[in-house]
A and B are shown apart, each in its own frame.
Chain A
Amino acid sequence: MVDQQLKIELGKQGVLVTTIEELYNWGRRSSIWPMQFGLACCAIEMIATTMARYDLARFGAEVFRPSPRQADLMIISGTVTKKMAPQVVRLYNQMAEPRYVIAMGACAISGGPFKQGYNVLKGIDRYIPVDVHIPGCPPRPEALIQAFMTLQKKIDAQPLTGEGRPRHLDAAAQGEFPVPEQGEHDLEPTSNKGVWPVPVVIR
Chain B
Amino acid sequence: MLGEGILKGMAETARNFAGSFVSKERLTTVEYPEERIPTFENARVFPFLVYDTNDWEAGLRCVACQICEKECPPKCIYIDKSKDKKPDYAGKQQFYPTRFDIDISVCMSCQICVEVCPFEAIKMDTEFELATGDRFGGLLLDRKQLAKSNEYYHRIHPTEAAEVDVRLAEEKAKANAKAKAAADAAAAKAAAAKPAPHVEGAGD
Residue numbers of A with Cβ under 8 A of B are 52-55, 58, 106, 109-113, 115-116, 123, 125, 130-137, 139-140, 142-143, 145-147, 149-150, 154, 199
Contacts and interface: CB of A to CB of B under 8 A. Distances in A.
A131 B131 contact: no
Contacts of B23: none
A55 B27 CA distance: 12
A105 to B, nearest CB: 9
Contacts of A113: 73-74, 106, 108
Interface string B102-145: 01111111000000000000000000111111111011000000
A106 B107 contact: yes
A191 to B, nearest CB: 13
**B-side interface mostly:** loop
A29 to B, nearest CB: 15
Contacts, number: 94
B69 to A, nearest CB: 15
A133 B108 contact: no
A109 B33 contact: no
Interface string B56-84: 00000000000000000111000000000
B181 interface: no
B202 interface: no
Contacts of A54: 29-30, 32
11 contacts: A52-B28, A54-B32, A106-B106, A109-B139, A112-B74, A116-B75, A131-B133, A136-B128, A140-B45, A142-B37, A143-B128
Contacts of A146: 32-33, 128-129, 131
Nearest to B27: A52
Contact of B131 (A53, A112, A116, A134): A134
A132 B108 contact: no
B142 to A, nearest CB: 12
A116 B72 CA distance: 13
Contacts of B132: 132-133, 150
B4 interface: no
B128 A137 contact: no
Contacts of A132: 131-133
A130 B139 CA distance: 14
B31 interface: yes
A53 B135 contact: no
A58 B29 CA distance: 10
B36 interface: yes
A133 B32 contact: no
A133 B139 CA distance: 9
A54 B108 CA distance: 23
A130 B32 contact: no
